[in-house]
A and B are shown apart, each in its own frame.
Chain A
Amino acid sequence: DQQVKQNSPSLSVQEGRISILNCDYTNSMFDYFLWYKKYPAEGPTFLISISSIKDKNEDGRFTVFLNKSAKHLSLHIVPSQPGDSAVYFCAASDYQGAQKLVFGQGTRLTINP
């Protein structure tokens, strides 16, 4: 049972345009959501997060939107840059002392010049 799903394995975007990565979840107990960026042969790097009490969080070029009724979150990157090419994972947690994260399968983002 996949509790966190990223239905697009890959996404290709023109440099300077907006990249939108999507993530759906099924567990209504999740109260904290994160996006990580990962380059090959490296560990994931934390990008941005959002608590379930908010519907939007912004950090520079990155904005995460949360729609609790639809159990959907999205990551917007604008403008997209070549260095943004990586695999992006969304993750969710129902915090119980330890932060047990459930990850989606990842979306490979390619920014074309």
Chain B
Amino acid sequence: DGGITQSPKYLFRKEGQNVTLSCEQNLNHDAMYWYRQDPGQGLRLIYYSQIVNDFQKGDIAEGYSVSREKKESFPLTVTSAQKNPTAFYLCASSIVGQPNQPQHFGDGTRLSIL
């Protein structure tokens, strides 16, 4: 069964600590994305990647970093520079070159600050 797996489902971070959120997909999609959702708001794009070893900043990249060493994996690191990291983080993937193909989402990771 193809899909996107995000782990962990819940994550707690201490002040000044970096944390890494995992995202794995077995849909053979080239493009992967990270979004952040805050209460009462829509999803905002953090980073995206269209191909292995390449990624671009989205609208709110400050305080975050990513890597794309494998097609299946797109981990997101929330650094200590991110001043308001408490949010629901969603990973998505899609086919490249076919604009009418929708993004598929994982079930998210909720990050909280201790």
- Contacting residues, chain A, for B53 (C-beta < 8 A): none
One of A42-50, A58-66, A78-86 contacting the partner: A42-50
A-B contact count (CB 8 A): 74
- Contacting residues, chain A, for B33 (C-beta < 8 A): 98, 101
Complex partner residue of A93 from B90, B96, B99, CB under 8 angstroms: B99
Task: Report the interface size class on chain A.
Answer: 20 to 34
Residue of B nearest to A90 (CB): B42
CA distance A9 to B102 in the complex (A): 24
Taking a contact as CB atoms under 8 Å apart, the answer to whether A98 and B48 are in contact is yes
Complex partner residue of B50 from A43, A44, A97, A104, CB under 8 angstroms: A97
- A:8-65 near B, CB below 8 Å: 9, 31-32, 34, 36, 41-46, 49, 51
- A:85-113 near B, CB below 8 Å: 89, 91, 93, 95, 97-106
- B:68-114 near A, CB below 8 Å: 90, 92, 94, 96-97, 99-108, 110
Q: A49 and B100 in contact (CB under 8 A), knowing A99-B31, A100-B45, A103-B42?
A: yes
Taking a contact as CB atoms under 8 Å apart, the answer to whether A89 and B43 are in contact is yes
- Contacting residues, chain A, for B107 (C-beta < 8 A): 41-43
CA distance A25 to B47 in the complex (A): 22
Shortest CB-to-CB span from B98 to chain A, Å, is 9
Besides A98-B31, A105-B41, 9 new A-B residue pairs in contact (Cβ under 8 A), listed by A number: A9-B40, A43-B90, A43-B92, A46-B103, A49-B100, A89-B43, A102-B45, A103-B35, A106-B42
The 10 A-B residue pairs with the shortest CB-CB distance, nearest first, are A43-B105, A103-B42, A95-B99, A46-B102, A103-B43, A43-B107, A98-B50, A105-B42, A44-B105, A43-B106
